[in-house]
Structure 1
Amino acid sequence: MILEAVMLQVKEGLENDYELAFLEASKIISSMKGYRSHELHRCMEKKGKYLLVVEWDTLEDHTVGFRQSPDYQKWKERLHHFYDPFPVVEHFEKVVQQ
C-alpha cells in the first residue's frame, strides 16, 4: 500500500466551491484501478489549507494508472484552478505499524 499525501492551498474565498467540486471529483478518483480510499482534511489554523491523503495499491496505480488516464484530465479541470501555489505530491510507504 502506498500513501499519497498532498498539502493544498485553495485560493482565498473559494473554499466552499472547492469542497463541493472535490466531492464531485471524488467519484473520478474512487473509480480508478488500485484506489483504496481517500480523505480530505481542512486545516483548523490556516484558512484555505487542506491535506489530501489517498491510499493506492501501488505507486504506479497513481503515477501511471491515474495520472496518465483520460479521467485525470477531468480531475484537473474540476480542481486544479483552485490551487495557489500548485501543490507538491509526495508518496509514502509504511515502515512501522502498531
Structure 2
Amino acid sequence: MITEVAQIEVLPGHEDQFEQAVSQAVPLFLGAEGCEEVDLQRSTEQPGRYRLLVRWETIEHHTDLFRQSQGYQRWRALAGPHFAAPPQVEHLYSVLAP
C-alpha cells in the first residue's frame, strides 16, 4: 500500500471553492483502479495549506494509470484553478509491521 501525500497551497479566498472541487473529485479518485481511500486535511496554522492523502495499491496505480486517465484531467480542471503553486507530491509506505 502506498500513500500519496500532496501538499497543496490554495489561492487566498479560494478555500471554499477548492474544498468543493475536491469533494466533486472524490468519485474520480475512488473510481480509479487501485485507489483505496481519499482524504483532504486542512492546516490549522496555515489555512490556505491542505494535504490530499490518497491510498493506492501500488505507486504505479497513481503514476502510470491515474495520471494518464480522464479522471486525472478532470481532477486538475476542478482543483487546478485554485492552486497558488504546483502541488508538492510524495509517495510514502509504512515501515511498521502490522
Q: TM-score, length-normalised on structure 2? A: 0.94
Q: Which runs of 5+ in 2 are unaligned?
A: none
CA distance in 1, matches of 2:51, 2:71: 22
Partner of 2:93: 93
The residue identity in structure 1 corresponding to 2:49 is: K
Partner of 1:74: 74
Partner of 2:46: 46
CA distance in 2, matches of 1:75, 1:29: 8
Q: Which runs of 5+ in 1 are unaligned?
A: none
Q: Partner of 2:19: helix, strand, or coil?
A: helix
1:25 equivalent in alignment to 2:25: yes
CA distance in 2, matches of 1:55, 1:77: 21
CA distance in 2, matches of 1:4, 1:97: 20
Aligned residue pairs, count: 98
How far residue 87 of structure 1 moved from its aligned partner, in angstroms, is: 1.0
How far residue 97 of structure 1 moved from its aligned partner, in angstroms, is: 4.1
| Aligned-residue RMSD, C-alpha | 1.0
Q: Partner of 1:74: helix, strand, or coil?
A: helix
How far residue 70 of structure 1 moved from its aligned partner, in angstroms, is: 1.6
The residue identity in structure 2 corresponding to 1:9 is: E
Deviation per CA, 1:71-93, whole angstroms, max 9, x where unpaired?
21111110112111111110011
